[in-house]
Structure 1
Amino acid sequence: MSSSPTGSTPASRPARKPPRRPKPAPGTKRISPMRVIGLVVVWAFTLFNLLVLYWLITAAFKTPLEIFREPLALPSTLFERGTPFRNFIYAWDTAEFGTAFFNTVLLVAVCSVVIVLVSAPAAYALSRLGVRGSGPLTGFIAIGMGVPFQTVVIPAFIAMSKLHLTNNLFGLALLYVALSLPFTVFLLTGFFRSLPDELEEAASIDGASATRTFWSIMLPLARGGLITALILNAIGLWNETLLAIVFLQENANFTLARALFTFYNAASYQSEYGGLLAGVAIIVLPMLVLYILLARRIITGLTLGAGK
């Protein structure tokens, strides 16, 4: 029997090691205590919020007696009387929610669009144009997100009162835009950084200017980020209360949150707790429905900018 060219027989060769099995994904091999604790905390927080939402909606259809005696029971008295929406009608008429609703929709729509229109070019310049000092500028803008806007209320009120911009929606809109810019610029900076460089280089080779490249190529590609920023700003401004309380004094200029704050005193004095909770529901439910409908788009948009 002849030997192999290497001088060793097949029987003497070492056995080949089997391929190494891939490691399981984190958290899939076994259930860790921290994972269990995290799941319990998340589900407990979710169930608590669902319970509060259920209580708010059902209480809006109840009489004050039902609210205190049967807080978690389904409403019955107003339905038996044939006036289930009595609390909503009372809140809408007494708090003048009609004018406040129009003011809020107009203010939120205009401010959200202006914020995105101003933030998008700024974020593009900081992330794509190689502006000198763009890194420190981005960090400076990020610091602006950490400054509580409550600390600037008094200085802003003094400055705006001298400019006669208090007690009108235009002055409040300026504040909303100024205070929302840091977050929006920082958010959109991540989106523009995640876009491919090849398209921008191709546009430059074709002779397109930076402005045309931004409006024709980069802005459409960042549409997911722009929509996310628009939605988040709209939700935040819709729920804003403190600035509206400080800067608005006339009923004709009230937003929904400001009108509810005034309505609270009248409803509490008359023990109209059902009407008060109906007013809260009128403000909360539109944004809740909007978030439920657009939740997938918001989550997708927030994760798109994390690519780089």
Structure 2
Amino acid sequence: MNGRSIRIFLPEGSPVQLFTAEIVNWTGRVTIFPRAELSKFKGRPEAQQPGVYILIGENPEHPEQDVVYIGETEVLIDRLKYHNGSEDKDFWQATFAISSKDANLTKAHIRYLEARMIELVSQSGRAKLKNGTLISSGQKSPLPEADQADMEYFLGQLALILPVVGFQGLRPKINTRPTSSLGNQTTPDHDPEIYPDSDQLPRFEIKMDQTGVKATAVESADEFVVLAGSTARKDAQPSWGNYRQLRAQLESEGKVVPHADSGLLIFQEDVPFRSPSAAASVILARNANGRTRWVHAETGKGYGDFKQQQLEADHQSP
């Protein structure tokens, strides 16, 4: 994997105030600041530039998910001031203002970026979009082929830098299609160097012969992803406390639904979890230690033992 260098600058010298993030040799800049520091952003040069912005807040209905609004404007501070006075942006807590250091972003460029960002956030399912009307692929600002290529590269750099500074919304779902079907695809929503395919990752399983539960998952970076088609117990144990609310949320969103024939629940899509224990608890409908309940599909070792073996193997490598 090729290394990347990201430069973080703290103008105030504080890690909790406004800061900027850039990638070496990239023309873009991301300025990140709390809503309360909008007045400080006002005095910065990029505040007067065109750009795309992301307004981020907490989702009270889903604590593990952000609420976001994505927009574009020819003068960032003017549009942000407008939103600051709007009652429908009460969720807004943090701001990501995206601009260009060489001031070459036109209205057509930022409209294209806005449409693509909304499209990718919608596809990833990692954040709840507050935009009233989603911009479809057919509504992107028309651009010459060369400009589209430039904006896709710009977007690819955003997909790399934004997760580092705290926004996961552009991060794509893990790819579960066979690698061979992708050809040479290297679009921002699937860079195989950054986001490997699921068939390249270790697989873990939970099986309960007495109930028929069978679930398969892969681990990708900081996520433990239960794959579509996995099944889960429907009836919960009375003592179940951990992650019970998360299971209810997944059911309400239609990601986990009743199986027509087995009396179990089935995952309708790949679902990322923050830990193996969260995934195991949702599947088994009770408190569960994921490090012991998940088993590596090839070796039969428990998740915890498998990870420990990897550590020891790495330590022994020359």
Do the structures match in fold with TM over 0.5?
no
TM-score, structure 2 normalization: 0.22
Which is helix-richer, 1 or 2? 1
Which is strand-richer, 1 or 2? 2
Rg larger in 1 or in 2?
1
TM-score, structure 1 normalization: 0.22
